[in-house]
Amino acid sequence: MADVVEVRDLRKLFDGGKGGKKVHAIDGVDLATEPGEYLVLLGPSGCGKTTLLRTIAGLEQPDSGDVLIGGHEVTGLPPRARKIAMVFQSYALYPHKTVLNNITFPLRAAKLPADKQRERVKWASELLGIEHLLQRRPRQLSGGERQRVALARALVREPRVFLLDEPLSNLDAKLRASARDELKRFQQRVGTTTVYVTHDQAEAMGLGDRIAVMHGGKLRQLGKPVEVYDDPADTFVATFIGSPPMNLVPREAHLVGFRPEHLLPIENVSAADRVTMPFHIERVEYLSGDRHVYGTVKGIGEETRVIARLPSTIDTPISSDEIHEFAVRADKLRFFDADSGERCDPVPL
C-alpha cells in the first residue's frame, strides 16, 4: 500500500535581502496526495514549489505547519528518517563514484547486508535498463542515462515516496518527450506515491494524476489536468495553463474567459447556444497543422487582443486585415472577478 504525503498549513519564510524583510516562500499550503498518486506541483519560478518539495524532503524546516508521511508527523525529522527519495534537477550523482557505487550508496547507509545490496542493485538496474553502465562514472553518461541512474539510486531503497525536482529540465527537447513517457511508465510500474515539481505545463498535464498549481507561495488550484484546464480557479491558472493561454476579455467588473480552441468561425459553432463576436484578424500563424489567429474582438466587452486556434479540420479561408464573425459556445465561457481574479458566477452577455 502506497503512502500518502500531506502538508498542513505549511509556512516558510526567507530573508528578503534589503531591510531584513521576510518573504513568504510558502504561505499557508494545505495539500494531500492520494495513495500511489502522481502529483505535480506546477508554477512559475519563484512560486515556492521547490521549497515545498524540499520541506517535504526535510532539507528545509518549515516555520510553521506540519508534514505528514504515511500518516505520521515527520516535521522535525532529518531526511534520512523519512524513508523518502529525491531526484534532483542536476541529478546530483556522486561524480567520484561509479554508477554501481552511486546506486549502492543508500544501501550502505542503510547498512544492508552485502548479498541483499547486490540483489537490490540488480533489481533496480534491470528495471531501468542500466546494467551495462554500472562500471562507468557519471561524466561518461548521457543526460538520459544520468536520469536513469538517479532514478535507480532513488528506487533502490524502496522509499515510501518519490520526490522529483524538475528532472527533465536538463534534457534536450527530443529526449524530454521520451524521458517523460519513461518516467510515467516507471511510476505506474512501481506504484509509489510521487510528488513532481515542474514549471512546464505540458509536462504537468502529461504526467500528473492531479496538478497543484502554485503562485506566490500559495496553492491556487488542485485538480485533475482536465479540471485545471477546463475550470481554472482564477485568472492566474487560466493564463498559466494552456498554450496559447486563455483569452480574457474585460467586461465591466468581470473578465470573460475562453480558450483559443473554442473561438471558431461562426459556421463551426451550432447556432442554438453561441456567443458571437466580430474578430478583426491581424495575423495568422500556421503551427503543426493548427492555425493560430491573432486579432481583436469587440462586442462582448472591451476591445481586446485575443488568439484563436483553428484545428486543421476547419478550412474556412482566413487572411489578415479581415473582419470575420467568430463565436464561442456559451458553456465554454468562464467568468472571473476583475479585481480578485477569482472565478465567479456567469454574467449575462
Which positions lie near other proteins, rule CB under 8 A?
54, 57-59, 78-80, 84-86, 88-90, 92-96, 105-106, 108-110, 139, 153, 157
Strand ranges of the sheet holding 22-32, from the earlier edge strand across to the other edge:
22-32, 5-15, 64-69, 72-73
The number of angstroms, rounded, from the C-alpha of 285 to the middle of its chain's C-alpha atoms is 27
H-type helices in the chain, by residue range? 49-57, 99-109, 114-127, 143-155, 173-190, 201-207, 225-230, 235-240
22 or 80, CB closer to other proteins?
80
86 or 207, CB closer to other proteins?
86
Contact 24, 13 (CB under 8 A): yes
Cβ of residue 248: shortest distance to other proteins, in angstroms?
A: 39
- Report d(CA 148, CA 115) in Å as an integer: 23
Q: Is 155 left (phi over 0), alpha (psi -120 to 50) or beta?
A: alpha
- Burial of 261: CB neighbours in 10 Å, binned 0-12, 13-18, 19+: middle
- Report d(CA 44, CA 344) in Å as an integer: 24
Cβ of residue 26: shortest distance to other proteins, in angstroms?
A: 18
Cβ of residue 295: shortest distance to other proteins, in angstroms?
A: 37
89 or 169, CB closer to other proteins?
89
Cβ of residue 97: shortest distance to other proteins, in angstroms?
A: 8
The number of angstroms, rounded, from the C-alpha of 215 to the middle of its chain's C-alpha atoms is 12
14 or 294, CB closer to other proteins?
14
Query: DSSP character for 124?
Result: H
Contact 99, 136 (CB under 8 A): yes
Residue type, 347: V
- Report d(CA 80, CA 222) in Å as an integer: 29
199 or 254, CB closer to other proteins?
199
Cβ of residue 140: shortest distance to other proteins, in angstroms?
A: 11
Cβ of residue 228: shortest distance to other proteins, in angstroms?
A: 29
- Report d(CA 8, CA 2) in Å as an integer: 20
Cβ of residue 30: shortest distance to other proteins, in angstroms?
A: 24
- Report d(CA 275, CA 329) in Å as an integer: 6
Cβ of residue 304: shortest distance to other proteins, in angstroms?
A: 42
108 or 132, CB closer to other proteins?
108
106 or 242, CB closer to other proteins?
106
85 or 308, CB closer to other proteins?
85
